[in-house]
Amino acid sequence: MNKSLTIPISILIGGIIVAIAVYVTMPKPDPTALTNATLMRPVSADDHILGNPAAPVIVVEYSDFDCTYCKEFTNTMLRIVTDEGTDGKVAWVHRQFPLTELHTNSFSHARASECIAKTAGNDSFWKFAYELYQSQPVDPKNYGEIASKIRISGSAFASCLSSDTSAIDERIKADRQNALDIGADGTPYSIIIANGKISAVMNGGYPYSVVRQLVDEALGSIK
């Protein structure tokens, strides 16, 4: 073989392999999942939203802070939303789906994140959520340390955690029940919405390239 062709052919083969890998990992259309997704609670101002709240494409994720796949999905979505910008066409919604059957502290983590949202606002919620994922596994006794790291006042946060959290717990349970209603059996479980219509369902933590492609398809469907 002509040595001058070796590198181009290697690049071509590599490209084909990557394309096959992306195709294999692409979520296959699941009519049942798409039908169940219609039971998703509509996104509202009460949700935790990162990015442009008026974005035409919204990724709604049901997540568990102790889920390692959710950690990777978080990094993927942060990259996508950051690339879009605060006025971009893609927003990301976080909903609580603590898998208490698997993760002892998952409900406690969800409660702590909701207390952060209640006492410090939406931006602080996302910062705290990021730290929970990056610091897996987190001992609940270290919540104050995490809050301090992202410069959140510990007193109001601690007061929330030590007070009656029944309203917060009901919110978490409502998110979890909605996840079960739409057929989620693990985390992350995400639904992509384009102009109010379901574009795709992602059951699991797909790689950045696949998520980006699905988001781009949703963007392309907007008229």
Residue with tokens 């209640």: 118
pLDDT in tens, 127-171: 999 999 999 999 999 999 999 999 987 789 999 999 999 999 999
Predicted confidence (pLDDT) at residue 13 exceeds the cutoff of 70 = no
Predicted confidence (pLDDT) at residue 62 exceeds the cutoff of 70 = yes
Asked whether 204 and 187 are in contact (CB, 8 A), the reply is no
CB neighbour list of residue 90: distance below 8 Å, 6 or more residues apart: 51, 52, 55, 57, 58, 59, 80, 81, 84, 215, 219
Q: Which two tokens stand for residue 36?
A: 């169940």
Kindly indicate the confidence band of residue 6, based on its pLDDT and cuts at 50, 70 and 90.
low
Fold that domain 50-220 belongs to in CATH: Glutaredoxin (3.40.30)
Predicted confidence (pLDDT) at residue 215 exceeds the cutoff of 90 = yes
The pLDDT of residue 98 is 98
Half-sphere exposure of 58 (CA within 13 A, CB side): 23
The pLDDT of residue 30 is 73
